[in-house]
Structure 1
Amino acid sequence: MISRFYNPVDTRFGWGSLEQLGSLTEQQTVALVTFPEARALGLVERIQALLGERLVYVIEDVQPNPDVAELRRTYERFWQQAGSCDTVIAVGGGSAIDTAKALIVGTEGGSFDELLALLATGKPFVPARCKRLIAAPTTAGTGSEVTPWATIWDTEQQKKYSLHLECTWPSVALIDPQLMMTVPASVTVSTGLDALSHALEAIWNRNANALSDTFAISAIEDILECLPQLQHNLGSRELRSRMALAALKAGMAFSNTKTALAHSISYEMTLRHGVPHGIACSFTLPLVLGLAWGQDAERDRTLQRVFGSDLARAQARLRAFLHSLSVKTEFADYGVNAEQAQTLLDAASKGARGQNFIGSLTAPTVP
């Protein structure tokens, strides 16, 4: 089989790489999208110092899981007040980067509802205009800095939209582990588990190949070893750098495969049960590992390079890893009974991401 790998993002990894913002935006006007705590952490001031008069607009109220209610106001204000800027810089976690991806996609009339209508069709489209995007993640987990996808939530309607266009690939990703030093333990764990899920989902995936496997296996091995140590040593420059690189590798892996069943399950768990994304997409990993095992000989060989040849032992190892991070691994732990879990699993397997799962042709059951 011929393997193909495509990722157009100019990716720069290393301590202090945020300093390159200046040279990357010469003779451009820039809008910054970031999270509410960024100013208190000195990030906004630091970026202002790097960019000077080039920084013409700042959005610093991005909330977790960008919802259409807030995005509508932010989007339309952005295009009214900063529509002439050249580049958008997203500094933050997945929510900041996803928000920036939504903002850069311009509609004919500058209306957010125009964008929603295009997304609702589920078909690709060419936007009326689009901004250049630079992404600098402050958490090790999202992978959004090296992928084209953004998730937009509609909690009132209990649904989500997936935005992915050629122009929503960031032009540049700056992965600077220094930006992650102040992330608290709970967010460090949750985002790290998101990265683990990305890497595993890239393996039990119909779109997997030898090149995506290389990134995924390396990411899994690093996260399994590093994340438990990091939660007890948050100030370690070495561990922060290792997790940042592992999350980047996981992002590279699923940038070519998309996610699969665990993420499909997670959307309902977040929308209907309020489970944070990193936990929602990782608590079922032992279950999904069992559903993947035996579906495809090549995929089994790849999984066994990480976990060995004994499925029960592999699941136990993964479950013990999650428990060591205080993550519960049963649906019942999140208020979902057996009947609800089976219904959720059935629906998730039929979703777009669920169809990427190598076992999607087999009716999955919750043990």
Structure 2
Amino acid sequence: MSNNFYNPVSTYFGYGVLNKIDELTAGEKITLVIFPEARQLGLLDKVQNILGNKLLHIIEDVQPNPDVAQLKHTYENFWANFSDTDTVIAIGGGSAIDTAKALIVGTETGNFDSLIELLATGKQFVPSSAKKLIAVPTTAGTGSEVTPWATIWDSLLQKKYSLHLDCTWPTAAIIDPELMLTVPESITISTGLDALSHALESIWNVNANPISDTFAISAIEDIFTYLPRLKQDLDNREYRAKMALAALKAGMAFSNTKTALAHSISYEMTLRHGLAHGIACSFTLPYVLGLAWGRNDQRDEVLQKIFGTDLEKAKHKLQSFLQSLNVKTEFIDYGVKDSEAQEMISYAMQGARGKNFIVNTLS
């Protein structure tokens, strides 16, 4: 296990910190990437009023699970017509922030296909140019505001690409719980469970370290406490803030470890069965906990701080928690037969994220 921890993102947290985007972009030209509903919620007007004439360009047709077919036009239009942008501000959930991360990575041609070709190699590269990024999450779950990673999907070819470069670390993260007050119950739960998965995945991980563990344990305890309460009281400002902070802590944890097996399985569930990411990466957590338990004394010690020393009780606690949020926890519940589930798990073990799982390092 590593003892190193690194995170270069300047992070601002609390009600009202959205206004920070003004001083953080003084004298700059801005492109805004924002989710489509922001206009009717009045958030787009608010951001425009904060930024004023600095705002050059607005992209508001962000789609869930950013797909190459939709990103191509957005990307090429940006680099052809708004390349004088200094900073891209992403406001929204993980899809908005992932879209912005793809946008800021320039190719020599300004052609999106060139970016996909580079990503397809799976190797690091230095882009010909890059823009700065400020990430402003509107859901408590993505963690993308404090990590360099983005996922780009190709639904036609049933593939996903992982983007992670030095330049895709946001320069700043603005976590304002005010922006999360209008999030509906289903998305509140899905994104909250994404954060839970981030935290747990950072623990049963070959890259875990004492600092990531500290963030993860605190995040998990808060999610267990406050996500059920928030489900019952969506307008509660304290619970919204607690979940926003928990998601941030989970993001800090996996910013150094990356995710592991549950996320690797989730990609196949999303590609094959269209399952929303937060559910896809969390419904297997009791199963993966069972695989992780007993594999490494140090990792067990961390898990037992959360769940106690009895594996069956631990799995039951996690399963009951998910089910209390109306999340089903078996593959068959999502139309996946056992043969396909086992094939997906085996495939996921060999994926980049699956290889972070501690079971892969032990005989």
Deviation at 1:130, TM superposition (A): 0.2
- Paired residue for 1:85? 85
Matched, 1:44 2:44: yes
- 1:2-56 CA-to-partner distances (Å, cap 9, x unmatched) read 7111000001111110011111111000000011101111111111100110001
Matched, 1:339 2:339: yes
Deviation at 1:244, TM superposition (A): 0.1
Give the Cα–Cα distance (whole angstroms) in 1 for the partners of residues 362 and 134 of structure 2.
41
- Paired residue for 2:329? 329
- Paired residue for 1:244? 244
- Paired residue for 1:9? 9
Matched, 1:126 2:126: yes
Deviation at 1:78, TM superposition (A): 1.0
- Percent identical among aligned pairs is 67
- Paired residue for 2:205? 205
| 2:142 alignment partner, SS class | coil
- Paired residue for 2:223? 223
Matched AA of 1:71: L
Matched AA of 1:135: A
- Paired residue for 2:184? 184
Deviation at 1:280, TM superposition (A): 0.1
Give the Cα–Cα distance (whole angstroms) in 2 for the partners of residues 83 and 66 of structure 1.
21
Matched AA of 2:283: F
Deviation at 1:361, TM superposition (A): 4.6
Give the Cα–Cα distance (whole angstroms) in 2 for the partners of residues 2 and 178 of structure 1.
36
2:107 touches 2:128 (CA, 8 Å); kept in 1?
yes
Deviation at 1:81, TM superposition (A): 1.7
2:135 touches 2:174 (CA, 8 Å); kept in 1?
yes
- 1:234-256 CA-to-partner distances (Å, cap 9, x unmatched) read 00000000000000000000000
- 1:65-118 CA-to-partner distances (Å, cap 9, x unmatched) read 000000001100111121111010000000000000000001001000000000
2:30 touches 2:87 (CA, 8 Å); kept in 1?
yes
- Paired residue for 1:114? 114
Counterparts of 1:276-295 in structure 2 under 5 Å? 276-295=276-295
Matched AA of 2:271: L
- 1:334-353 CA-to-partner distances (Å, cap 9, x unmatched) read 11101111000000011110
Deviation at 1:362, TM superposition (A): 6.2
- Paired residue for 1:75? 75
Q: TM-score, normalised by structure 1?
A: 0.98
- Paired residue for 1:312? 312
2:2 touches 2:207 (CA, 8 Å); kept in 1?
no
Deviation at 1:173, TM superposition (A): 0.2
- Paired residue for 1:214? 214
Give the Cα–Cα distance (whole angstroms) in 2 for the partners of residues 93 and 230 of structure 1.
18
- Paired residue for 1:161? 161
Matched, 1:253 2:253: yes
2:145 touches 2:173 (CA, 8 Å); kept in 1?
yes
Give the Cα–Cα distance (whole angstroms) in 1 for the partners of residues 20 and 204 of structure 2.
36
- 1:188-243 CA-to-partner distances (Å, cap 9, x unmatched) read 00000000000000000000011100000000000011101101100000000000
Give the Cα–Cα distance (whole angstroms) in 1 for the partners of residues 238 and 81 of structure 2.
41
Give the Cα–Cα distance (whole angstroms) in 1 for the partners of residues 79 and 299 of structure 2.
46
- Paired residue for 1:233? 233
- 1:252-296 CA-to-partner distances (Å, cap 9, x unmatched) read 000000000000000000000010000000000000000000010
Unaligned 5+ residue runs, structure 1?
Answer: none
- 1:129-174 CA-to-partner distances (Å, cap 9, x unmatched) read 0001000000000000000000000000001000000000000000
Matched AA of 2:203: I
**How many pairs does the alignment contain?**
363
| 1:360 alignment partner, SS class | helix
- Cα 1:19–1:318, aligned 2, differ >3 Å: closer, same or farther? same
2:295 touches 2:362 (CA, 8 Å); kept in 1?
no
Counterparts of 1:267-278 in structure 2 under 5 Å? 267-278=267-278
Give the Cα–Cα distance (whole angstroms) in 1 for the partners of residues 85 and 337 of structure 2.
50
Matched, 1:22 2:27: no
| 2:66 alignment partner, SS class | coil
- Cα 1:111–1:2, aligned 2, differ >3 Å: closer, same or farther? closer
Give the Cα–Cα distance (whole angstroms) in 2 for the partners of residues 271 and 78 of structure 1.
28
Unaligned 5+ residue runs, structure 2?
Answer: none
Matched AA of 1:200: L
- Cα 1:76–1:2, aligned 2, differ >3 Å: closer, same or farther? closer
Give the Cα–Cα distance (whole angstroms) in 2 for the partners of residues 224 and 358 of structure 1.
24
